[in-house]
Structure 1
Amino acid sequence: MKTLENQTLLYDEDCPLCQAYTSAFVKTGILDENGKKPFTKITTEEAHFIDTERAANEIALIDTQNKTVIYGIDSLLKVLGNSFPLIATIGKIKPVHFFLRKLYAFISYNRKVIIPGPLHKNTTLKCEPSFNYKYRFLYLLFSIVVTTLILNACSKMIPQLPNGSLTRELLLATGQIIFQSAFLIRFDCKTILNYIGNLMTVSLFGSLLLLPIIIANSFFKISETVVLLWFGTTVLVMFREHFRRVTLLELPKWLTTTWIVYRIIALLLILNL
């Protein structure tokens, strides 16, 4: 592994994903031992040549000798491309680079609703992405589509439920957003969208937990008891994760109660309509 020396990545220390891949770069020798540094630990000197607002949105790679900085997908391509030149070559192809930039922005602007961290109200320098309405709504749309498709497939495995449809699952996913948002009407728009982002991450997470049993059922018949137990366990995991996120966001904890109430109402409507 060819080590990229005299280069330091500024990472978000509250983002487990950011911590994981920057640590992996150092441990595998892609970067040297000084190759990672928390964003909040930049020096006064570094603050003069780093665009801190941009660095909060796009991970910054500092050249510690030349005092220059590159950001986002370009910084990752440089780090990986030093050890794997083919990655840099492919990544620089215009259509590929365009796609990677958009994918990176999609993840980065939504990383606090994908993997939330504690609020730091009294910290002057915070590595928090700017609020981007476009990428937030794209994330919500992505979550709704994936959740709808997976739940539609799962519903066909539960004979106790009436025949499902994509329309029904789509209405349930969007109805959940409307129902929960109604209880946050006194909050500002960004707070509501942050909560909805976390809400849909919980739904997306739960849907992905159902994928293994859906895939297994396509190869051999899974008993109804196993399906119901798997589904019930998934709901319990989602309940715990929703409560954890509401606590991190410092929102009313009764939002988890209304989250349960919506699911009970939805189930009763499905069984009786």
Structure 2
Amino acid sequence: MKTLENQTLLYDEDCPLCQVYTTGFIKAKMLDENGRKSYCQLDENEQTFVDINRASNEIALIDNKNQTVLYGIDSLLKVLGFSFPLIEKIGNIKPVKFFLKKLYSFVSYNRKVIIPSKINTAAKLQCVPNFNYKYRFLFIGFATVMTTIVLYNYSFLIPSLPKASITREFMIAIGQLFFQSLFLLKSDRKTILNYSGNLMTVSLMGSLLLLPILAFQTVVTISVNTSLIWFVLTAFIMFMEHYRRIKILQLPTYLCITWVVYRLIVLLLILNF
């Protein structure tokens, strides 16, 4: 494995994914021991040639010798391409690079709703991405669609419930967003959309927890009781994660109560209509 020397990746220390892949680059000796640095630890000299705002949105690769910087997909392709030239070559094909840039932006602009973290008020620099309405709505839409598909398929494992439809599951997911937003009407749009992103991350997480049962069902018969117990356990985990995120976002805890109330209302409607 060839080592790219005198290059430093700036990473978001509050982002577990960023920590994992930058650490991986060093352990794989794709970067030297000084190959990564927390964004918050940028010194005054580095701030003269690093675009601080852009680096909070796109991971930056600093050439320490020439004091030049690459951002986002370009920085990752350079690190990977130094050891695997074919990856860099393929990644720089225009349609491929266009897709990679969009995918990177989708994840980067939403990373604080995918994995929220408390703001460190003591730090002079905060590695917080700019608020991007387009990518936030895309993430909410993606999470809604995935949740709808999984819940629709999972509903067939609990035959005691009325037959589900894609439309019903989609309306339930969208309805939760609007219902919860009613209790944040006094907040600004960014606060509501930040919460909505976190809310749909919780729903997406719940859907991922249901996937193992759906997968096992294709090879063995899963009992109704097992499916129901797993669903209840998943709902409890979702509630606890929702509560944790409410604390991080410093939002009213009654949102946890309304989260439960909405689901009880939906359950009653499903059972009676």
| Range into which the TM-score falls when normalised by the shorter chain | over 0.9
State the TM-score, normalizing by the size of structure 2. Answer: 0.99
Note the 1:22-61 alignment, pairs <5 A: 22-61=22-61
Q: CA deviation at 1:119?
A: 2.0
8 Å Cα contact 1:119/1:249 also seen in 2:
no
Distance 1:23 1:219 in 2: 38
Aligned to 1:265: 265
1:167: which partner in 2? Answer: 167
Which whole-Å CA distance do the structure 1 matches of 2:156 and 2:168 have between them?
Answer: 13
Give unmatched runs, 5+ long, in structure 1.
none
Distance 1:85 1:209 in 2: 37
Q: CA deviation at 1:123?
A: 3.6
Instruction: Report the equivalent of 1:236.
Output: 236
For residues 193-233 of structure 1, what are the alpha-carbon distances to aligned partners after superposition, in whole Å with 9 as ceiling and x for unaligned?
00000000000000011011011112221001110111111
Structure 2 residue matching 1:219: 3-state secondary structure? coil
Give the deviation of 1:254 after TM superposition: 1.4
1:232 and 1:24 map into 2 onto residues whose CA distance is: 36
Aligned Cα RMSD in Å?
A: 0.8
Distance 1:193 1:246 in 2: 13
Q: Does 1:9 align with 2:21?
A: no
| C-alpha contact 2:247 2:253 (8 A) present in aligned 1 | yes
2:265 & 2:132 partners in 1: Cα distance?
Answer: 33
C-alpha separation in 2, matches of 1:23 and 1:37: 10
Counterpart-to-counterpart distance in 2, 1:182 and 1:124: 35
User: Secondary structure at the residue paired with 2:70?
Assistant: strand
What is the rounded CA distance, in whole Å, between the counterparts of 2:130 and 2:62 in structure 1?
21
Aligned to 1:251: 251
Matched AA of 1:114 = I
Unaligned 5+ runs, structure 2: none
* Other structure's SS at 1:163 match: coil
**Deviation at residue 160 of structure 1 after TM alignment:** 1.3
Aligned-partner Cα distance in 2 for 1:178–1:119 = 27
1:207 is matched by which residue type in structure 2? S
Structure-1-length-normalised TM-score: 0.99
Alpha-carbon distance between aligned partners in 1 of 2:242 and 2:17, rounded to the nearest angstrom = 20
| Paired residues, number | 273
Partner Cα distance (2:199, 2:42) in 1: 33
Percent of aligned pairs with the same amino acid = 61
Aligned partner of 1:99 in structure 2 is 99
By how many angstroms is 1:122 displaced? 5.0
CA contact (8 A) 2:40 2:124 kept: no
* One-letter amino acid matched to 1:47: Q
